[in-house]
Amino acid sequence: MFSRDRIQYKTPEQFRRMRAAGLVVAAVHDAMREAVKPGVSTKDLDVLAEKVIRSSGGVPSFLGYDIGNGPYPGSICSSVNDQVVHAIPSPTQVLEDGDLISIDVGAIVDGWHGDAAITLGVGEVAKELTALVSACEEAMWAGIRAAATARRLGDISFAIQTSIQDAGDYGIVTGFGGHGIGTEMHQDPHVLNYGRSGVGPKIRPGMALALEPMITLGEAEIVEDDDGWTVSTADGTPAAHTEHSIAVCDDGIWVLTAPDGGAERLGESLASLARQ
């Protein structure tokens, strides 16, 4: 799994092409922040997401994606409440006040991929859910910051795990994780959301990684639905999932799926300044 020979190293020019895909994904998330409200179905969100992707010059990467269980039927994964990841948009799944929804989006521009996820509250949500989402976002940013100084992939995984544990008693979903990204959505290496520092492939300029912690308000155990895609918590507690695609540059990290490239969250010392 940690085959370093299979990591695709990118040139700065290729990172700029990935940035185009990343910005399409970011545009979809902006549209989702506007659209998510009580009464909207997850299928409505999917239709809107596909429109935004195509009108921005992208192609939805999830649509038709096949990992052996048949082609994925949507442009987003819309995972509500106890659904953790990969839930299929449905016209009968209508959002209600107090729900939590993770929206995972992938887009391809000129053959290069972007992939990111946000978790949003619908209307007014309970404080413990807001805290769950913050813990997940913080863990993702802890991983992104760690990537700026990491020597090995395990340093990033360890930073994500430590951040979650520091935030509270959350379940850390272990069956899924982050991944390399480039001319395919999923590339080596697999990025665990837990683990030890100092192990795994070396972090080097040219790497592009999608970091995506998934945490639950209860236990970490997950169950897979009969539809072959939807992953939910076994104990029925709500889950959060956040993701960014990042580029490891010579002079720091470029968050390809963040509109500001990560400048604000990372600060000048960790963000790449070479980008444009």
110 Rama sector, left if φ>0, alpha if ψ -120 to 50, beta otherwise: left
Q: How far is CA 28 from the centre of its chain?
A: 13
Min. distance of Cβ 61 from ligand MF3 in angstroms? Answer: 7
Min. distance of Cβ 18 from Co ion in angstroms? Answer: 13
User: 44 touches which of ligand MF3, Co ion, none (CB within 5 to 8 A by kind)?
Assistant: none
x/- contact string, 212-251, with ligand MF3 (CB under 6 A)?
x---------------------------------------
Instruction: Give the phi and the psi of residue 57 in degrees, each rounded to 5.
Output: 90, 15
CB 110 within 8 A of CB 61: no
User: 106 touches which of Co ion, ligand MF3, none (CB within 5 to 8 A by kind)?
Assistant: ligand MF3
* Residue 184 within binding range of ligand MF3, rule CB under 6 A: no
Q: Binder to Co ion among 28, 207, 210, 217 (CB under 5 A)?
A: 210
* Residue 46 within binding range of ligand MF3, rule CB under 6 A: no
Q: Binder to ligand MF3 among 10, 29, 86, 244 (CB under 6 A)?
A: 86
The piece of 17-25, 209-217, 254-262, 263-271 that touches Co ion (CB under 5 A) is 209-217
Positions 114 through 153 that interact with ligand MF3 (CB under 6 A): 115
Cβ neighbours of residue 206 closer than 8 Å, sequence gap 6 or more:
9, 10, 11, 248
CB 242 within 8 A of CB 115: no
x/- contact string, 194-213, with ligand MF3 (CB under 6 A)?
----------------x-x-
Tokens, residue 246: 């990042």
* C-alpha–C-alpha distance, residues 19 and 247, integer Å: 9
Tokens, residue 30: 């902006």
Min. distance of Cβ 253 from ligand MF3 in angstroms? Answer: 19
Contacts 24+ apart (CB under 8 A), 80-83: 80/42, 81/238, 81/239, 82/232, 82/233, 82/236, 82/237, 82/238, 82/239, 83/230, 83/231, 83/232, 83/239
x/- contact string, 90-119, with ligand MF3 (CB under 6 A)?
--------------x-x--------x----
CB 1 within 8 A of CB 189: yes
Closest to Co ion by CB, 46 vs 243, is 243
Contact residues: ligand MF3, CB under 6 A:
62, 65, 72, 77, 86, 104, 106, 115, 210, 212
